[in-house]
């Protein structure tokens, strides 16, 4: 083999190996695990709390700051929950058509499972926040029973969550669900047609282990999906088409 042929073979081998290493792969149930530049070894690096949101028709911002649009459907759409292990929470939403032939969030459901620092058996608590025909009002339910705010979600003597009316950004009369362990869900569904859902939680609740429209929450926005053909979120059959 000549000197130049050997150099050419070495270069081609390096290109093939680099290409194979850089492709990565997508995990199931919404865990997007493609390795990209800036995320060596795909190790989570959550230096701040997750703050994700959905607003308008609706436009999303993931935990790591990636922006994308997703219309949703009449079924349950997952906003955020842990992909694996003991789940502490699950946040779902539904959308309905608006006057502009787009879709807006109509109701939000928060499931509270066992707190991350608790032991033993904990019953799941469900909080529903539903829009009404009144643009300044919403119906709030705890385990399917209508309640008035402020109110607390309890398991015996244990406080599970505080429910109250809050102002958020330019919105008023938003419903906030906050837990002692750091999850905060703010549903502004009483503002048709521009409705918003805000979710925040600390790294201990899901750094590198989040499924749903909040994306994977690993500290890197480059590996959050924005194209509807990239199946990065949990349960694509329920989530429907993105666009």
Does residue 217 form part of some domain? yes
Q: Does the structure show a pLDDT above 90 at 31?
A: no
Residue 23 in any domain: the answer is no
Q: Output the DSSP codes for 177-232.
A: EE-TTS-EEEEE-SSSSS-EEEEEE-GGGTTT-EESTT---SS-STTS--STTS--
| Domain-embedded: residue 6 | no
> Hey, which of 7-16, 108-117, 130-139 has the most confident mean pLDDT?
108-117
8-22, 32-46, 125-139, 193-207: segment of lowest average pLDDT: 8-22
Asked whether residue 65 carries a pLDDT value surpassing 50, the answer given is yes
Does some domain include residue 203?
yes
% of the chain with per-residue pLDDT over 90 = 41
Q: Is the pLDDT of residue 166 over 90?
A: yes
pLDDT computed for residue 239 by the predictor:
36
Contact assessment for residue 110 and residue 189, using Cβ atoms and an 8 Å cutoff: no
pLDDT at 7 over 50: no
Higher per-residue pLDDT: 159 or 69: 159
In a domain, 49, yes or no: yes
Q: Is the pLDDT of residue 72 over 80?
A: no
Please, what is the average pLDDT of the chain? Answer: 76
pLDDT of 67 strictly over 90: no
Q: What is the mean pLDDT of residues 132-146?
A: 88
Q: What is the pLDDT of residue 35?
A: 27
Average pLDDT for 93-119: 87
Structural domain tally of the chain?
A: 1
Whether residue 46 is predicted with pLDDT greater than 90 in this model: the reply is: yes
- Mean pLDDT along residues 193-200: 88
Residue 20 counted as domain residue: no
> What CATH number should be reported for the domain holding residue 59?
3.40.1000.10
Q: Residue 96 domain-assigned?
A: yes
φ/ψ of residue 74, rounded to 5: -75, -15
Q: Are strands 50-55 and 171-178 parallel, antiparallel or unpaired?
A: unpaired
Q: What is the C-alpha separation between 182 and 110, in angstroms, rounded?
A: 14
**Domain-located, residue 34:** no
pLDDT bucket at 200, cuts 50 / 70 / 90: very high
| Domain region containing 69 | 43-239
72 or 235, which is more confident? 72
Structure tokens at 29: 């149930």
């Amino acid at each position: 083999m000549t000197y130049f042929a050997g150099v050419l073979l070495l270069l081609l081998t390096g290109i093939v190996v680099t290409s194979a290493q850089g492709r990565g792969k997508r995990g199931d149930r919404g865990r997007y695990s493609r390795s990209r530049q800036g995320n060596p070894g795909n190790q989570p690096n959550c230096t701040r709390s997750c703050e994700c949101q959905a607003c308008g028709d609706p436009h999303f911002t993931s935990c790591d700051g990636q922006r994308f649009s997703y219309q949703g459907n009449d079924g349950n759409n997952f906003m955020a929950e842990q992909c694996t292990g003991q789940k502490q929470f699950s946040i779902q939403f539904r959308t309905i058509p608006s006057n502009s032939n787009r879709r807006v969030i109509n109701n939000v459901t928060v499931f509270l499972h066992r707190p991350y620092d608790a032991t033993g058996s904990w019953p799941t608590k469900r909080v529903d926040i539903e829009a009404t025909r009144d643009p300044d009002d919403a119906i709030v339910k705890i385990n399917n029973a209508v309640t008035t705010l402020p109110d607390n979600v309890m398991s015996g003597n244990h406080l599970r969550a505080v429910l109250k009316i809050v102002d958020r950004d330019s919105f008023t009369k938003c419903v906030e669900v906050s837990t002692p362990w750091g999850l905060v869900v703010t549903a502004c569904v009483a503002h048709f047609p521009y409705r918003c859902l805000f979710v925040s939680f600390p790294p201990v609740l899901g750094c590198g282990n989040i499924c749903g429209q909040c994306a994977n929450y690993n500290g890197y926005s480059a590996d959050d999906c924005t194209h509807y053909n990239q199946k990065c979120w949990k349960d694509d059959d329920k989530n429907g088409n993105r666009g």
